[in-house]
Amino acid sequence: MVQIQPRLFESFEDYLVYSESLEGFYELYNGQLVKMPPESGVNVQIANRLLLYFAGLVGIDRVRGQGLEIEVQGEPRNHYPDLTILREEHIEQLARRNTVRLSMNPPLLVIEVVSPGDVQRQRDYVAKRFQYQGCGIPEYWLIDPEAETILVLGLQEGFYHEIGTFSGDAPIQSVMMPDLDLTASQIF
């Protein structure tokens, strides 16, 4: 990640106004903008497969790819998940700006495709897990292309608990998507 602008943002609202003029994706970290690198081709392929699958399951308007921004507590102050399943109410709320704020109800499901490298794995498995948990997002999936596994976490009493780790042809279980008919093999 490359930091830009020596400018210090005092609030998330200041960042929101300023970031409308930027191209690309930036995380707000300790008041400064950090440009996010592009995703790997494998990560994009996996996210695209899931986008098509979930669009058929819940409708295209309730599925968002990496362009959706989620405000979180802690640092950085925002993330761009690889895939997000929205609530019906989000469609109208996000018409002007594709940012789910802390003041809004959380999305139903957030999916991260783990990027290669120890730092990125740590962010997805630990840091983002706690930030999404803190937002009250009911379900969080970690799709690991290296291990070819899908870890599904469900929120219970404010904490994520493992629903299961899925690989091969075992059906993926989801509390938020009970009509799911998907396996790890179909994703990878």
Note the pLDDT tens digit of each residue in 129-173: 999 999 999 999 999 999 999 999 999 999 999 999 999 999 999
Phi, psi of 153 (to 5 degrees): -115, 135
Domain of residue 94: give its range: 39-187
Whether residues 114 and 23 fall in one domain: no
How far apart are alpha carbons 35 and 13 in whole angstroms? 18
Percent of the chain with pLDDT over 70: 97
Whether residues 124 and 169 fall in one domain: yes
CA distances from 154 to 83, 88, 120, 175 (A): 16, 20, 22, 7
Whether residues 9 and 79 fall in one domain: no
Percent of the chain with pLDDT over 90: 80
Whether residues 78 and 23 fall in one domain: no
Whether residues 5 and 49 fall in one domain: no
Instruction: Give the pLDDT score at 37.
Output: 85
Whether residues 19 and 60 fall in one domain: no
* pLDDT at residue 5 greater than cutoff 50: no
